[in-house]
Amino acid sequence: MTAAFGVVSISASVRSGEVRALDVLDAHLEVVASHEAGVHAFNEVTAEQARVAASMIDGIVAGGGDPGPLAGVPIALKDNLCTAGTPTTCSSKILQGWHPPYDATVVQRLAAAGAVFVGKTNLDEFAMGSSTENSAFGPTRNPHDQTRVPGGSSGGSAAAVAAGFAAGALGSDTGGSIRQPAALCGVVGAKPTYGLVSRYGLIAFASSLDQVGPFAMSVADAAALLDVISGPDPMDSTCLGEATARSASRLGSGVEGLRIGLITEMQGAEGMADDVKARLALAADALSGAGAKVDQVSVPAVTFGLSAYYLIAPAEASSNLARYDGVRYGLRAPGSADITDMYLRSRSAGFGDEVKRRIMLGTYALSAGYYDAYYGQAQKVRTLIVKDFAAAYENFDVLLSPTAPSTAFEIGAKSADPLTMYLNDVFTIPSNLAGHPAVSVPFGVGDDGMPIGVQVLAPALAEPLMFQVAEVLESLAPPAPLSASRRSLRALGAPADRGAAL
């Protein structure tokens, strides 16, 4: 039943003509209509464009053509991915009403593969946050419990998949912005190796850390999405120039004989909840039971990851966000006396508090006299993290950690204290600093009944191995309920008069 609404199963059914893309889309749009008001996953639902796209897919199938590997799959896009002609806001007032004249490379690739875009999802403004509360358009709520946050910054994408609004989604992950909301919403979310997926058209937060990645209800579906969006792109100098092995290439291979390391520094960290710790232990045992060799491993430098991250990411952000100045597009405060006045007033009115904090933090870290102490030192910490991971991978194939320190917290619980909020990313940040892939897999629920995620970390470009382990973990996970709205997805009727449900 859930599989029927998965990425792989939908495209198979649509390509075979078993179901129509338009019916698949309508089923999801019905759930959007009934539950979006409560969840607020979207900044914009693009129902009409989606219907046109789905009809085209059905036309291709009817004509005997191949609409591509994601034929008719409803996908939600984080609203920091540029979509030609469709507003792209980054959940910021400063970009409200901006229509990009071009599509992000990942958007082009999904469209070419036959995906149907349901809408643009809410995020923490400019992807800065861990709860999707920092949105100029209001918070997104967790589909499992609307009093709680969905995580962030890609909270809208995670919630859209968890809520049954879409079969899959794209998010971006700078310090955990895919994996942490995936964990909090009970879905799979993967951050690929830096450079595997083009960043062209992803509105930058911190360029050396940002990476686009998939959300889905299953590991296989996430891998299928990643395989469509990854690959060389001449528009992105930091995108790897050669094709790599398919992420889904090792699915079904089991974990027999694999060496899996439990990162010591990520088991007793600050603010880590007991139920999260217990689920991690359970996951380790399960993998061990499946034939893997599980052991403790120390990666000492990861404990400095959070500090290094909160110097590097704001520094790059302070520069990336300078362009929002009211000259060429976006918000301009009216009636300014001179250009500087216009900059000051436009930027102050257009950015929210968290964005301002990070811009100032980054400006400070780069400013004369502090560069070496802050930015320079953080870049060296980055080197140490890479080195310590390399040492760990000499003895282990993949590493294991919790994704987030706790289950989803109440809306408003952490918004007053930025530092407490930042601690949400403590387990996810090291992979961004190292440029390595990592995936969060749902692994049961916590004492509060909310989803818990376990993170599988792998060396650069080892996505096939990472998904291989993640899939086994998924198969061994304790049961976790679907959200009420996803449960409400109606069974799909076959096209025309055939009545068989999928």
Partner 1 sequence: MPRSITTDDVAHVARLARLQLSQEELTRFTQQLAAVLDHARDVESLDTTGVVPTAHALPLVNVLRDDVVTPSLDRATVLAEAPEVEDHRFRVPKILGDSQ
Partner 2 sequence: MSTEPVVPAPSSGWETVIGLEVHCELRTQTKLFCGCRNSFGEEPNTNVCPVCLGLPGSLPVLNRAAVEYAIRIGAALHSTVQASMFHRKNYFYPDMPKDYQISQYDVPINAGGWLTLPGGRRIGIVRAHLEEDTGKTTHVGGGGRIHEATRSLVDYNRAGVPLVEIVSAPDMRSADEARAYVDELRAILVATGASDGKMEEGSLRVDANVSVRPAGSEEFGTRCEIKNMNSLRSLGRAVDYEVSRQIQLIESGGVVSQETRHWDEGAGRTASMRSKEEAYDYRYFPEPDLVPVDPPEEWVASIKASLPPMPSERRERIAEMSGLPAGSEAVVTVVRLGLDDLVEAVGAQGADTKSVGGASPAVAAIAVKRAANEVASDLAGAANLERSSFAKLVRMESSGQLTSAQARTVLKSMLEAGGDPEVIAEGLGFEAMESGGLEAIVDDVIAAHPEEWARYSEGEDKLAGFFIGHVKQATQGKADLKSASALLRSRR
Which residues form the catalytic set? Answer: 78, 153, 177
In the complex, what is the shortest distance from the CB of residue 31 to partner 1, in angstroms, rounded to a whole number?
A: 34
Q: Backbone dihedral region of 178: left (phi > 0), alpha (psi from -120 to 50 degrees) or beta?
A: alpha
Phi, psi of 445 (to 5 degrees): -125, 165
Number of residues near partner 2 (by CB under 8 A): 44
Q: Which helix (H) or strand (E) holds 43?
A: strand 42-45
Residue 361's closest CA among 301, 302, 422? 422
Residue with tokens 């993170």: 455
Q: Indicate which of partner 1, partner 2, none lies near residue 337 (CB less than 5 to 8 Å, by partner kind).
A: partner 1
Q: Which is nearer to partner 1, 36 or 173 (CB)?
A: 173
Mark the segment that binds partner 2 (CB under 8 A) among 206-214, 293-301, 401-409, 484-492: 206-214
Q: Is 1 in the site for partner 2 (CB under 8 A)?
A: no
Does 200 contact partner 2 by CB under 8 A? yes
Give the closest residue to 25 by CA, choosing from 79, 70, 89.
70
Identify which of residues 200 and 304 has a Cβ nearer to partner 2 in the complex: 200
Q: Taking CB under 8 A as the rule, does residue 236 contact partner 2?
A: yes
Please answer whether residues 135 and 126 qualify as being in contact, where contact means their C-beta atoms are separated by less than 8 angstroms. Answer: no
Closest CB 56 distance from partner 1, rounded Å: 24
CA separation, residue 420 to residues 129, 177, 244, 305 (Å): 11, 16, 38, 15
Q: Is 201 in the site for partner 2 (CB under 8 A)?
A: yes
Q: 408 is in the binding site of which of partner 2, partner 1, none (Cβ under 5 to 8 A by kind)?
A: none
Quick note: the x/- pattern for partner 2 over 313-352, rule CB under 8 A, is --xx-xx--xx-x-xxx---------xx--x---------
Give residue 362's region: left, alpha or beta (phi > 0; psi -120 to 50): alpha
- Range 112-136 burial, b when 16+ CB lie within 10 A, else e: ebbbbbbbbbbbbbbbbbbbbbbbb
With CB cut-offs between 5 and 8 Å by kind, which of partner 1, partner 2, none does residue 336 bind? partner 1
Instruction: Indicate the residue among 238 and 249 with the shorter CB distance to partner 2.
Output: 238
* Among partner 1, partner 2, none, partner that 264 touches (CB below 5 to 8 angstroms by kind): none
**CA distance linking residue 120 with residue 163, whole number of Å:** 15
Residue list 365-404, contact with partner 2 (CB under 8 A): 366-368, 371, 375
| Spatial distance between the Cα atoms of 160 and 138, rounded to a whole number of angstroms | 15
| 116-121 and 293-297 strand pairing | unpaired
Instruction: Choose, by CB under 8 A, the member of 55, 96, 108, 208 that binds partner 2.
Output: 208
434 binds, among partner 2, partner 1, none (CB under 5 to 8 A by kind): partner 1
Measured at the alpha carbon of residue 368, what is the angle toward residues 367 and 370, in degrees to the nearest 5?
A: 70
Please tell me the distance from the alpha carbon of residue 176 to that of residue 182, in angstroms, as a whole number.
Answer: 10
Q: Which of 165, 168, 209 is nearest to 188 (CA)?
A: 168
Is the CB of 62 or the CB of 327 nearer to partner 1?
327
> Which one of partner 2, partner 1, none interacts with residue 418, CB within 5 to 8 A by kind?
partner 1
Residue 44, interface with partner 2 (CB under 8 A)? no
State which residue, 10 or 359, has the beta carbon closest to partner 2. 359
Partner residues linked to 119 by β-bridges: 45, 76
- Positions that interact with partner 2 (CB under 8 A): 80-82, 88, 90, 95, 98, 100-102, 104, 199-204, 206-208, 234-238, 315-316, 318-319, 322-323, 325, 327-329, 339-340, 343, 363, 366-368, 371, 375
